Amino acid sequence: MCAGTGLANVGVTTQCPVAVPLGALEYSLRVPRTNERRPNGAFSTNTAVSNSAWSYYNALQVEWTKRLSRSISFQAAYTFSKALDTTSEATAVGAGDTNQTGNNARAARGYSRFHTPHRFTLYGTYYLPLLTAQNAFVRQALGGWRVSAVMKLSKGTPFTVTTTGVDLNLDSVSEARPVILDPSILGRSISNPATSTADLPRSAFRTLTIADLNTPLLGRNTFFADGVRNVDIGISKIFTMPWEKHRLTVRADLFNAFNHVQFGFPSSDITSANFGAITGLATQYAPRSVQVSLRYQY
């Protein structure tokens, strides 16, 4: 770390109190000789974008379809999956994550940014009895209503805990993932603002130092955000009017009917004073809304 101390413009410091020799073709943290190590010293930065990452997706999909009988029909589907890659977004487009360890594919391997291990969907329709045995008012007011519902349940997508970047091997790529001190917390879902800082404690990590060159760093996307638990409900009925071919359709739609809140990602930088805190909602979250419509056909 202190190699080069004592050379021109490289004075002694508290960490490096004495001179340490450095060969003409050698480099160190204090004397990185970045420009000398470039293929062409005339260019300070070269950006290359390519489809060089790899990804794998494996899944088990189960589906159950019930056709209309006894006034009910539905379809249910469950997916158990795993998506792995070395980067989920390598350009400035989108909100993914990048390979933070240069060309080290082994260190970059992890869950995809869009990895959703569990997803369940159910939609169905139930027709209430026509109440043909009742009087006309009861039949019209209570009979023949149609109730539809769509339910979506899924585990949250993963995120990466980060820290101030340190160029551990002096390759001009800063590693920005910290060292994990408590592996027992890996894989946790950080989804409750009341407990998020306890579920993702700052004490479970430490920032990087130049001495961490061969230390295993925290992996990509090793924690999960809040998932989706949403139910939409629709209620409708067609009323036959006393005039020929005249009909009135009444419909009410409840989106996010139970008003379940989906929280956003927690603060994931361990150097932040708000580390672990959830301070916002998911971008795709929408509070409950009710829509009522009438349609008259003649």
In DSSP notation, the chain reads --TTTTSTT----SS--S-----TT---SS---TGGGSSSTT-S------S---EEEEEEEEEEEEEEETTEEEEEEEEEEEEEES-S--SSSSS----TTTT-HHHH-EE-TT--SEEEEEEEEEEPP--TTS-HHHHHHHTT-EEEEEEEEEPPPEE--B---B-TTSSS--B---EES-GGGTT-B---TTTHHHHS-GGGEE---GGGTTSPPPPSS-EE---EEEEEEEEEEEEEPSSTT-EEEEEEEEETTT----B-PPP-BTTSTTTT---SB-TT----EEEEEEEEE-
Instruction: Provide φ and ψ at 72, rounded to 5°.
Output: -135, 145
- In a shared domain, residues 42 and 94: no
Greatest CA separation found in the chain?
A: 103
Q: Are residues 293 and 158 in the same domain?
A: yes
Nearest to 284 by CA among 254, 264, 266, 255: 264
- The range of the structural domain enclosing residue 289 comes to 54-297
Half-sphere exposure of 13 (CA within 13 A, CB side): 11
Shared-domain flag, residues 16 and 90: no
Residues 84 and 205 in one domain: yes
Rg (CA), the chain: 29
Cα separation of 3 and 18, whole Å?
10
CA–CA separation, 281 vs 266, rounded Å?
10
Statement: residue 115 has pLDDT above 80: yes
Which pLDDT band, with edges at 50, 70 and 90, does 103 fall under?
low
- Answer yes or no: is pLDDT of 275 > 80: yes
Pair 129, 183 in one domain: yes
Are 194 and 171 in the same domain?
A: yes
Same domain, 187 and 149: yes
Number of compact structural domains in the chain:
2
User: pLDDT at residue 91 above 60?
Assistant: no
pLDDT of residue 235: 96
pLDDT value of residue 90: 55
- Residue 222 CA to residue 237 CA, distance in Å, equals 48
Report pTM: 0.81
Same domain, 76 and 179: yes
Same domain for 107 and 255, yes or no, is: yes
Q: How crowded is the C-beta side of 46, counted as CA atoms within 13 Å? A: 8
Give pLDDT, residue 100. Answer: 56
Per-residue pLDDT tens for 188-232? 999 999 999 999 999 999 998 888 888 888 988 999 999 999 999
201 and 159 in one domain?
yes
pLDDT at 9: 84
129-185 per-position pLDDT tens digit? 877 777 877 777 788 899 999 999 999 999 999 998 888 877 777 788 899 999 999
Angle at 138 between CA 137 and CA 143, to 5 degrees: 120
Q: What is the mean pLDDT of the chain?
A: 88
Please check whether residues 10 and 140 belong to one and the same domain: no
Distance, in Å, from the CA atom of 62 to the CA atom of 71, rounded to the nearest integer, reads 24
Judgement on whether residues 174 and 39 belong to the same structural domain of the protein: no
